Structure 1
Amino acid sequence: MSTPLVSAVVPAYDTDGTVARAVRSVAAQTYDPIELVVVDDCSPQPVADTLTDVDISIFAGVEVVRHEENQGASAARNTGIGAADGDLVAFLDDDDEWRPKKLEQQVARYRETDESVQAVYTGIEQVDATGETNAVSPAKHEGNLRKRLLFGNVVGSFSVLLAGADALAKTGPLDERFPSWQDWEYYVRLAEVTRFAAVPDPLVVRHNEGNQISRNYVTKAETSAPLFAEKYGPVAAEYGRLFHRRFRGHLAHELGYAALANGQCAAGRRHLLRAVALDPFQPGVYPHLLAALGGERVYEGARRLKRSLATSGES
């Protein structure tokens, strides 16, 4: 493919106008050609109405699909994949933005790899409600990520991913049962059909203000974690009993961190103590456990210190 068509799939449930900001960032890409596919997941105000001030004339094609009822982000992405005509597909959540060279650098990386690589992801910058950067995560893991992904989402949100349409077809649709960890679950399956390549630069801006579903401890504890264990526990067991035990320990760590982030220190302590019992050598668990043992004030202080050190290290 000399100049592949990229389908930009934007699942949208727009209540505050952020989808227009996301689409503008697609329109600002230095790469061409791009097909824009917006899936309106039955927003209170139709998304098409919020895009009237956005110049969409630069796109090779534009399609806005509206669900008649709200089905969730995974269903919206599945609809978008089905409507996409591009050789490559890139996702953008409606509250995120792409840096202008995001697709240009990803397609260049995609084209310089061999046929075993059909997924390229970038780094990501986290921005709070005041516009301040509170974290930067470079993309650094490459190759066969199947085992590594069983111990956490090392790729990131869907907004960082560009993948070949053939690889997405082989992977199958997103599992719409997951209210959270949708990206992590999908990447495990995607890693079964393709190797990954990385563009280290933070070419995605994630606005992490508000009550995002990724922070919701209850949905993870009651639905996402049990589903993930059911689907991928047998996969982890293929690598041996110790690996499976570490897999379970990591899930407990994930739940412990989610509980702390939602201010539920008692639940956090319970999950983190289980994580240590299952895998006492996993990185990062002890600072979280100490914070949980110290209570909410200690945890919040540790979070502020971590952010301060991360920001000072970037300058």
Structure 2
Amino acid sequence: MPAPVTVVVPTHDRPELMARAVASVLAQTYEGELEVIVVFDACDPVLPALEVGPGRSLRGLPNSRTRGLAGGRNTGILAAQHEFVAFLDDDDEWLPTKLERQMAEFAEHPEAALVGTAMVVDDGVRTHERRVGSTLVGHADLIADRLPGLHSSSFVFRRSALLDTIGLVDEDLPASYGEDYDLLLRTASSSQIRVVDEPLVSVRWAGQSYFFGRWALYAQALQYLLAKHPGFAGNRAALGRIEAQIAFALAAVGDAKEARRWGWRALRHAPRQIKAALAIAISFRLISTERVLRIVRRFGKGI
């Protein structure tokens, strides 16, 4: 029999988007049992009126831990009844065969703690495929590159690994920003990550994200990640990449002095870091943050 799976969907005041996310889970071709847990974070726990077929269950829980995405995910992980736990953000959707493909990968590679997939980015105007470029991801790969095609809404974990070797989602991260990257780095420290490198998740990037425009929290979280993961210090290009992102966030929030400090620091480590140069340009008001974001979003990219 196919292994049963629990799907954790944290949500906050987005009932229509959340209903679409949950519907995409209930419509999976996977023949195993599916338990969907919607975790309501500081909002009324109202489940969508969806038809729940045989072998499927749907329940709602209030976030009983730290407010935010990390606490919501952990609430669902701890309440899960099954060994496999999948994540889905409330503004994203799964393509029908997504879970079927991943669980086949677990069956073929029982040592894997995490299987992800590539994604399709939907910016509200056009869509862009973002692949990972590999079917196997290690710690050094993730230090060198965040591999943005590997989105948290594609993750399926062994629950026992989350409760033991990997640990739960870090609730100390400022506003939970980067919790997915932190989790990938911690997972890859003890287990290789398998990837079905096909776009099986639709990720909405049209400004609805909780983090959209919250630049100060973005900068704080990235500094937290730099301090937590010493592997960045051993890779100048990776260090420069994170520093450039911090510089951009500080420039966007209007802290010109700190933006320039982090920007020059990034360029010393990685002279080709365009984001660092853009941050410095923004700090001198040579270009606006909004214009830069409009340009990169045309290509399905993010800062």
Cα shift readout 1:88-113 (whole Å, capped 9, x = no counterpart): 2110011111111111111122223x
2:92 is aligned with 1:96: yes
2:124 is aligned with 1:125: no
Match of 1:240 in 2: none
Could you tell me the TM-score, scaled by structure 2's length?
0.83
* 5+ long unaligned stretches in structure 2: none
CA contact (8 A) 1:110 1:120 kept: yes
2-side partners of 1:173 and 1:18: how far apart? Answer: 26
The one of 278, 287, 295 equivalent to 2:269 is: 278
The one of 135, 148, 169 equivalent to 2:128 is: 135
The one of 102, 107, 132 equivalent to 1:106 is: 102
Where do 1:187-198 residues align within 5 Å?
187-198=184-195
With over 3 angstroms needed to count, the CA separation of the structure-2 counterparts of 1:227 and 1:69, relative to structure 1, is closer
Q: Which amino acid aligns with 2:277?
A: L
2:22 is aligned with 1:23: yes
2-side partners of 1:244 and 1:232: how far apart? Answer: 12
Cα shift readout 1:224-276 (whole Å, capped 9, x = no counterpart): 1232122112x445xxxxx254443222122234456x475946554333211
With over 3 angstroms needed to count, the CA separation of the structure-2 counterparts of 1:307 and 1:61, relative to structure 1, is closer
The one of 151, 154, 159 equivalent to 1:157 is: 151
The one of 206, 216, 219 equivalent to 2:217 is: 219
2-side partners of 1:31 and 1:110: how far apart? Answer: 13
Could you tell me the TM-score, scaled by structure 1's length?
0.80
Cα shift readout 1:18-59 (whole Å, capped 9, x = no counterpart): 21111111111111221111111231x3233xx1x2112344
With over 3 angstroms needed to count, the CA separation of the structure-2 counterparts of 1:166 and 1:140, relative to structure 1, is farther
CA contact (8 A) 1:12 1:47 kept: no
Number of residues of Structure 1 aligned to a counterpart in Structure 2: 292
Secondary structure of the 2:60 match is strand
2:245 is aligned with 1:251: no
CA RMSD of aligned residues (A): 2.9
Cα shift readout 1:188-243 (whole Å, capped 9, x = no counterpart): 11112221121222211122233534342201223x1232122112x445xxxxx2
Identity of aligned residues (%): 28
* 5+ long unaligned stretches in structure 1: 238-242
With over 3 angstroms needed to count, the CA separation of the structure-2 counterparts of 1:165 and 1:287, relative to structure 1, is closer
Q: 1:65: how far off?
A: 1.2
Secondary structure of the 2:144 match is coil
With over 3 angstroms needed to count, the CA separation of the structure-2 counterparts of 1:61 and 1:296, relative to structure 1, is farther
With over 3 angstroms needed to count, the CA separation of the structure-2 counterparts of 1:136 and 1:63, relative to structure 1, is same
Secondary structure of the 2:264 match is helix
2-side partners of 1:91 and 1:306: how far apart? Answer: 27
Q: Quick check: 13-22 or 34-43, which moved more?
A: 13-22
